[in-house]
Amino acid sequence: MSPDLARAATEELLAAAGFWLDKVDPDRQRVVDAAVGALVADLDSPALRELAGLYGDEPSDTLDGLARQTAQELGLPEPTAEDAVRIDLKNRCQTVLDGTASPRTVTAWAYDLDVPRTPGPRRFPLLDPFIKIEHTYDYLEDLRGYADEAKVDRAHIDLDIARLDVEVRDEALKLLDHRSGNGPR
């Protein structure tokens, strides 16, 4: 298998396990699917094979233990939600830059993932620029709904939304450039 496929499979395994273990957007099926993908990419360990074979009715602590053991056996770091967010954000930014997803999908995901439902700080500072943009998207969408009453030209709102799309792409470029080692440190 190609090194790129193995890297992508490793990242997906870390992301799925990180979200699962930290109970941030946990998805049991995503963990199992990531384990299957890792096997297809020629990664292998006893725990990975067992994780890939789960049916979904096992106790959560079984999946927890296998996820940790798989990472250890493959020589990977302990999966964390912080790593999962970084990996998913990088992948989502790439889809925006590739034109396969809208900029709003990244900001909405960031908002849904990290804006607390109860008072308190957000957990993932990496998402802050995207969450800030999402708030502005929401404001403009609300304004669009009242444009006639507020005597606001919808074309100006559309132009502002297009500017936000550019801002998301700029943030995506900064993030990906930084991760590649070319950007600011």
Helical residues (DSSP H) of 99-153, grouped into ranges: 103-114, 128-145, 147-150
pLDDT digits (tens, 9 = 90+) for 157-168: 999 999 999 999
- How far apart CA 104 and CA 98 sit, in angstroms, is 14
pLDDT digits (tens, 9 = 90+) for 118-170: 667 788 999 999 999 999 999 999 988 887 777 778 888 999 999 999 999 99
Percent of the chain with pLDDT over 70: 93
- How far apart CA 52 and CA 34 sit, in angstroms, is 8
pLDDT for res 45: 97
- How far apart CA 72 and CA 78 sit, in angstroms, is 7
> Is there a contact between 173 and 142 (Cβ–Cβ < 8 Å)?
no
pLDDT for res 185: 36
Flag whether the pTM goes above 0.85.
yes
